[in-house]
Amino acid sequence: MAEITSTTTQFHFPPVNYNASSHAYLFSACDDDIPTVDYSLLFSDNPVQRFLALENLSQACQEYGFFYLVNHTISDEVLDTILKGFSDFFDPKTIDERKVLRKSGPSDKIRWDLNASTGENREYLKVIAHPQFHAPSNPPVLSKILGEYHKAMRNIVEGLARAVSTTLGFEENYIEKEFNLKSGFDVMAMNLYPPNSRSKGAIIHEHPDPGFVVTLVQDVDGGLQILSHQGKWINVHIPHHAILIQLGDHLEVLTNGKYKSHIHRVIVNNNKVPRISVVTLHGPALEKFISPSAEFIDEEHPQKYHGMTYKESLEANGGDDIDVQSSLDKLRFI
């Protein structure tokens, strides 16, 4: 696992205007620091260390909506194995074998596709990983690799749910109960971004993500930019064997905007080598009705969002469950 000393630093960014029609600086971003959270200290037996770690987590959630997670419980071997496993899976010589996993209908539990248009150059595999685990049967080892990784990541997300609950001033099981995370709906997306020596720009345009949190690991640096709450695009440089944590839309809804999700985009900038990423959207149970909790609503903080079941919110933009599209614009009061 990544072992890095976390620090608490506060930044104030001036707002900037994003001009979608200008290609000169359309995808420029800065290399400002992204908060780092030490997972091990969130559960430290030392009360001072734990207090400071929880304060750091609270600041990262409230001021950024994303952070690097280090000193976590997933071994380097598991991380290396999942990334190497999908590097092998996306072998161009076996692409015909993967085509049988192309979209067949809205009830798909496994879905593969290849987008090689001008606007997007990506091959991906999506699977519904929880509450029932699904994986391709071929190659046989892939299911084992995927299952071990997802189980380890869920343990971390359950720990984060306890820690986030504490930062909000509640009992550790608050998030678990509000989202019914034990039956939570998790979708994994394994992505291959091939080398690209000509294009420069976004291949997955800016968007937030639904759910509680999104976890991301990748094998090479770069390729992702995050829009801070202050309106500044920041390049993501994930420390080796660390995990990028991004807050999801439904944590924003539950906390009535106290902890916000954020916009991000995948970019290509003359990348010379392929890049593999493994992204997991950890959501509430599909039938769980999510609305702002009464504890976050008062005269100074009126209710900002509609309530909706998680399944309804995933399908609000015309997609299906495995598409896991954000519908935050439909949940906000106008």
What CATH number does residue 260 fall under? 2.60.120.330
Q: Beta strand 275-282 with 289-290: parallel, antiparallel or unpaired?
A: unpaired
Q: How far apart are CA 265 and CA 208, in angstroms?
A: 9
- 3-class SS at 265? strand
Q: What is the pLDDT of residue 106?
A: 86
Which helix (H) or strand (E) segment holds residue 150: the answer is: helix 140-167
Residues 86, 277 contacting (CB under 8 angstroms): no
Structural domain includes residue 294: no
CA 16 to chain centroid: 24
CA 165 to chain centroid: 19
Structural domain includes residue 27: no
Q: What is the pLDDT of residue 23?
A: 41
Residues 53, 37 contacting (CB under 8 angstroms): yes
Q: How far apart are CA 34 and CA 50, in angstroms?
A: 20
Structural domain includes residue 326: no
Structural domain containing residue 253? 36-285
Structural domain includes residue 26: no
Q: How far apart are CA 147 and CA 170, in angstroms?
A: 31
Q: Is the dihedral of CA 10, 243, 262, 25 positive or negative?
A: positive
Q: What is the pLDDT of residue 292?
A: 98
Tokens of residue 258, six digits: 């106290």
- 3-class SS at 286? coil
Q: How far apart are CA 173 and CA 175, in angstroms?
A: 6
Structural domain includes residue 15: no
Name the stretches of the chain with pLDDT < 70. 1-27, 116-120, 197-204, 269-271, 334
Q: What is the pLDDT of residue 14?
A: 31
Q: What is the pLDDT of residue 118?
A: 52
Residue with tokens 């008062």: 298
Indicate the DSSP class of residue 332.
Answer: B
Bridge partners of 243?
69
Tokens of residue 110, six digits: 């496994």
Tokens of residue 31, six digits: 């290399």
Residues 225, 263 contacting (CB under 8 angstroms): no
Structural domain includes residue 298: no
Q: Is the dihedral of CA 312, 316, 319, 324 positive or negative?
A: negative
Strands of 4-90 (E only): list them.
Answer: 36-38, 66-70
Structural domain includes residue 2: no
Structural domain includes residue 192: yes
Q: What is the pLDDT of residue 16?
A: 36
Q: What is the pLDDT of residue 128?
A: 98
Q: Beta strand 213-218 with 275-282: parallel, antiparallel or unpaired?
A: antiparallel
Q: What is the pLDDT of residue 122?
A: 87
Q: How many domains does the chain have?
A: 1
